[in-house]
Structure 1
Amino acid sequence: MSTPGGQETFNRMNIRIIGICVAAALGGFLFGFDTAVINGAVDAMTETFALGPALKGFAVSSALLGCAAGAWFAGPIANRLGRVPVMLIAAGLFLASSFGSGLAFGVADLIAWRVIGGLGVGAASVIAPAYIAEVSPARIRGRLASLQQLAIVTGIFAALLSDAFLANSAGGSLEELWLGLEAWRWMFLAEAIPALVYGLAALRLPESPRYLVARGKVDEATKVLRVYTGIIDVGDRIRAIEDSLRSDHRVSLRDLRGSRLGLKPVVWVGILLSVFQQFVGINVIFYYSTTLWRSVGFEESDALTITVITSITNIVVTLIAIALVDRIGRRPLLLVGSAGMFLSLGLMSIAFSQATLVTAADGTVNADLQGGWATTALIAANAFVVFFGVSWGPVVWVLLGEIFPNFIRAGALAVAAAAQWLANFAISTSFPAFSEIGLTFAYGFYAFFALLSFAFVYTQVPETKGRELEDMTDDIRVR
């Protein structure tokens, strides 16, 4: 039976671990903000720089190339310098991108600054789940790791809300707002505030105990574990970390090699989790939803409002996922999510098959949904967000922080995250072309991959609920 004093100490440690995980997850907030801020600016940016469909798609998704590169290099840098320095580098890249994008002279330098911001997004997407997994006790690791996705969707919400506020304040995203700059430019400049907050928060974070042990700083690692995690027998945990790290071996990307198509099985699981998360088309909703809802008859202000409501829905269901992930496990949530996404995307595909094509004055062709089909598409789109938000959104980040053995975690997570950003780039860049073929085709394509994701989870994805990171192996299997 625990004493009141012991319970107070446990609660204090819980507050401390939650605090540092929230601070680390602020990178996820910037991740969400940076990738979603384009939503409110895309139409104004297209008109300002006279972009055609192909260049428009590339301008929207160009940041994702930087994300892939940032994710790829974040692992090796984190292994060399530590987790916290990578967070500080990411914050600096975010800040530079905010000013550069907001003050861009043309589409070329806008794309360049978006790529620079993408480097920060990619680095944050790797380092936050790795850091949170490495400092979290196993009993609550799923919930703490889910903070990354909560931060991402909150960042998306903040970006969409600020986009709507700035556009409405100016009377339109193309209208001048402050200091002679149009509202769409202020949408990018607004990112400077969370970038500064993230950098300041990262300065106060302790380094990952697993990184410290890998660098031979056992005393510092012991202090971090004792102060923040509530582990009673720190000596046993330090020894377990030392054994799992294989501290006499210099880690490199060569350690990811295996017999199955050149990579270890667990690395392929991480890569495919990342690819499926993007190939269901979730970011089409958050990058292009304002354009999408305008195309079916909503005004710009109404379309932005609908997009904000969708992002609120995403936050709510992510909170539900946080409550469930350590109770019912990772696999059940993913399976339910895949089934729900398949049904809702299929319904969207059917709804848009009933649309009438209307040619606008500028020559663009929009889908016009009338009556019940417009409502059906709106409900199905939000149902899709619900099923994604309660499953594939947070759970993939939880698994990417958990499934890899300690000695390859940073490198394997970097490869998986890079694959995720490349998949995101492919889906985001292709959507304008897909929509020209027809939205029925586009959402049917995403529905097909939602169905494939169900089969993949059922046959290949392991359950990691309640397992210590030191127990993970590179030949992990479902059964």
Structure 2
Amino acid sequence: MQQQNSWYIYKATLVAAVGGLLFGYDTAVIAGAIGFMKTFYNLSDAMTGWVASCALLGCVAGAMYAGKLSDNVGRKKVLMLAALLFAVSSLGTAMAPNLNFFVVFRIVGGMGIGIASVLSPMYISEMAPAEIRGKLISIFQLGVVCGILLIYFVNAGIAGLYDESWNVSTGWRWMFGSGLLPSIVFVLLLFGVPESPRWLAKQRRTSEALDILTKINGTAKAQQELNDINAALAEETVLPLSEMFRPGLRTAMIIGIVLAVFSQVTGINAIMYYAPEIFKSTGDGSDSALMQTVLVGIINVVFTLVAIRYVDKLGRKKLLLIGIAGMVVCLLLVGGAFYLNMQKGYLVLIAILAYIACFAISLGPLTFVVIAEIFPTKARGTAMSVATFILWITVFIVSQTFPILMGSIGNAFTFWIYMLMAVCAFFFVWKMVPETKEKTLEEIEAYFKAGDAPVALKPRKV
């Protein structure tokens, strides 16, 4: 009797997580480049926000169509498309002759980010056994934060090659062009992983689905898993966007959308995109600010590993509440430091690093875990696209408004706005988000279909 093949599961998960790495790499590259681009193009605060956030329009488009496209042609092929879009964007932004061309190619890259943000966690959720699904989906977020850390090192390394004037004229182009290599690696790795068994079952390619499920779960569990998938598919009809808020799916949609919004309006991408500029505002020079940004990336990776370690033990909800509570305290301290003119020294750095740690064990990985778990199979593509579409709209708004807020109401009140959003996020998770650890996707689907109160879902005893 064939047993569960852990390497097979983890190999597919790690390859999908490379999509997360590209996601993090391509979104965070702007952090090292934006200061030099602001000087090169003489950008106003509003234009700085536009240059930093223009890729997010592509993210919105990519997220909007990723689910539907993957429902038609498969998760794997559309992930390959995302990698090709990353590659085109890397070359285009590095060689752009003017700001308009730069914006166009950043939007192209954003489409790849949007696709990866939907399909990588979706693919992992559809491959993963229930007892380790939270851990495996969190590996996608590990890929995201590793991509962010990698580009922080790359940015700091490029910025240190020559002087400030070279970085203003040329260095930022190298930062964007460096994304070509990981994009090519992702395409090549995708050839070595299988298609999603749930997607194959939906296409009635039963023998292929069973073969993959056997390698994932072992012979004993594979047929039962396939039976559960087919039973869930038999009861479902393809759901258009207009029916995403019908009874049985409405609660899941509200949870997915609101959690996606809170993961951004609590300020994470304002810090990720503008970290060097924040640290410069405390009196540090460019080199010191870029190295402090590397610390942000390291903390992000370390505490994402903590989340992976405990997400299937403590559960999604408990980690969310612990992390969000910590974010509230840290944002209060950052705002207070600026308000009391105490930003010189290490207080702001320590509070921001603690904030990153709290985000990395909660809203960072667990937003994608919850969104990837709570939707039924036939609605998952469209529903995840809707939730992630809203997420990217929110990222765009936060990224566009952050430099404007900093320039108008000041650093302190900007961070206190994010703090208030974190307080709201805490109460939403407390009241609305169910605990889904150790439940199969089909059990979660049956729970929401039954219309029970969101807090009623209990972990299965194993």
TM-score after normalising by structure 1: 0.91
- Secondary structure (helix, strand or coil) at the match of 1:326 reads coil
Does the 8 A contact of 2:61 with 2:114 survive in 1? yes
Note closer, same or farther for the CA distance 1:61–1:231 as it changes in structure 2 (3 Å cut): farther
Q: Which residue in the other structure is 1:171 paired with?
A: 163
- Secondary structure (helix, strand or coil) at the match of 1:465 reads coil
Q: How much has 1:369 moved relative to structure 2?
A: 3.2
- Secondary structure (helix, strand or coil) at the match of 1:328 reads coil
Does the 8 A contact of 2:36 with 2:167 survive in 1? no
- Secondary structure (helix, strand or coil) at the match of 1:175 reads helix
Q: How much has 1:102 moved relative to structure 2?
A: 0.7
Does the 8 A contact of 1:246 with 1:407 survive in 2? no
Q: How much has 1:176 moved relative to structure 2?
A: 6.3
Q: Which residue in the other structure is 2:184 paired with?
A: 196
What is the distance in 1 between the residues matched to 2:276 and 2:396? 19
Q: Which residue in the other structure is 1:440 paired with?
A: 412
Question: Which AA in structure 2 matches 1:202?
Answer: L
Question: Which AA in structure 2 matches 1:205?
Answer: V
Offset from partner CA, 1:262-306 (integer Å, 9 cap, x none): x71111100011000001001111100101111211111110000
Give the alignment partner of residue 478 of structure 1, picking from 441, 455, 459. Answer: 455
State the Cα RMSD in Å: 1.7
Q: Which residue in the other structure is 2:329 paired with?
A: 343
What is the distance in 1 between the residues matched to 2:397 and 2:65? 20
Alignment of 1:143-292 (within 5 A): 143-172=135-164, 174-175=165-166, 182-230=170-218, 232-246=220-234, 249-258=237-246, 264-292=250-278
Offset from partner CA, 1:6-50 (integer Å, 9 cap, x none): 8xx54xx11110011000111100000000000110011111112
Question: Which AA in structure 1 matches 2:343?
Answer: L
What is the distance in 2 between the residues matched to 1:142 and 1:34? 25
Offset from partner CA, 1:199-245 (integer Å, 9 cap, x none): 11112220101000101100110011112333523222212101112
- Secondary structure (helix, strand or coil) at the match of 1:205 reads coil
What is the distance in 1 between the residues matched to 2:185 and 2:127? 21
Alignment of 1:304 onto 2:290: yes
What is the distance in 2 between the residues matched to 1:431 and 1:397? 24
Q: How much has 1:381 moved relative to structure 2?
A: 0.7
Offset from partner CA, 1:455-479 (integer Å, 9 cap, x none): 0001000100000001123446122
Name the stretch that deviates more: 392-401 or 238-247.
238-247
Does the 8 A contact of 2:236 with 2:378 survive in 1? no
- Secondary structure (helix, strand or coil) at the match of 1:146 reads helix
Q: Which residue in the other structure is 1:363 paired with?
A: none
Q: How much identity, in percent, do the aligned residues show?
A: 37
Name the stretch that deviates more: 242-251 or 69-78.
242-251
What is the distance in 2 between the residues matched to 1:296 and 1:234? 57
Alignment of 1:51 onto 2:51: no
Question: Which AA in structure 2 matches 1:453?
Answer: A
Structure 2, unaligned runs of 5 or more? 457-462
What is the distance in 1 between the residues matched to 2:221 and 2:91? 48
Q: Which residue in the other structure is 1:387 paired with?
A: 358
Q: Which residue in the other structure is 2:460 paired with?
A: none
Q: Which residue in the other structure is 1:408 paired with?
A: 379
Does the 8 A contact of 2:159 with 2:167 survive in 1? no
Q: Which residue in the other structure is 1:369 paired with?
A: 343
Offset from partner CA, 1:163-184 (integer Å, 9 cap, x none): 0000101233x4169xxx7111
- Secondary structure (helix, strand or coil) at the match of 2:34 reads helix
What is the distance in 2 between the residues matched to 1:24 and 1:369? 40
Q: How much has 1:251 moved relative to structure 2?
A: 4.0
Moved runs in structure 1, 4+ residues, more than 6 A?
A: none
- Secondary structure (helix, strand or coil) at the match of 1:233 reads helix
Q: Which residue in the other structure is 1:101 paired with?
A: 93
Offset from partner CA, 1:136-194 (integer Å, 9 cap, x none): 0011111111001100000000011000000101233x4169xxx71110000000011
- Secondary structure (helix, strand or coil) at the match of 1:45 reads helix
What is the distance in 2 between the residues matched to 1:34 and 1:458? 33
What is the distance in 2 between the residues matched to 1:79 and 1:277? 26
TM-score after normalising by structure 2: 0.94
What is the distance in 2 between the residues matched to 1:83 and 1:74? 9
Offset from partner CA, 1:301-323 (integer Å, 9 cap, x none): 11000000111011000001100
Does the 8 A contact of 1:349 with 1:440 survive in 2? yes
Question: Which AA in structure 1 matches 2:381?
Answer: A
Q: How much has 1:259 moved relative to structure 2?
A: 5.4
Does the 8 A contact of 1:255 with 1:408 survive in 2? no
Does the 8 A contact of 2:316 with 2:366 survive in 1? yes
What is the distance in 2 between the residues matched to 1:27 and 1:255? 30
Alignment of 1:426 onto 2:417: no
Question: Which AA in structure 2 matches 1:369?
Answer: Q
Q: How much has 1:248 moved relative to structure 2?
A: 6.8
Structure 1, unaligned runs of 5 or more? 356-367
Note closer, same or farther for the CA distance 1:248–1:43 as it changes in structure 2 (3 Å cut): closer
Question: Which AA in structure 2 matches 1:80?
Answer: N
Q: Which residue in the other structure is 1:127 paired with?
A: 119
- Secondary structure (helix, strand or coil) at the match of 1:327 reads coil
What is the distance in 2 between the residues matched to 1:294 and 1:409? 43
Does the 8 A contact of 2:238 with 2:379 survive in 1? no
What is the distance in 1 between the residues matched to 2:202 and 2:242? 18
Length, aligned pairs only: 450
Q: How much has 1:107 moved relative to structure 2?
A: 1.4
Alignment of 1:41 onto 2:33: yes
What is the distance in 2 between the residues matched to 1:369 and 1:240? 56
Question: Which AA in structure 1 matches 2:357?
Answer: V
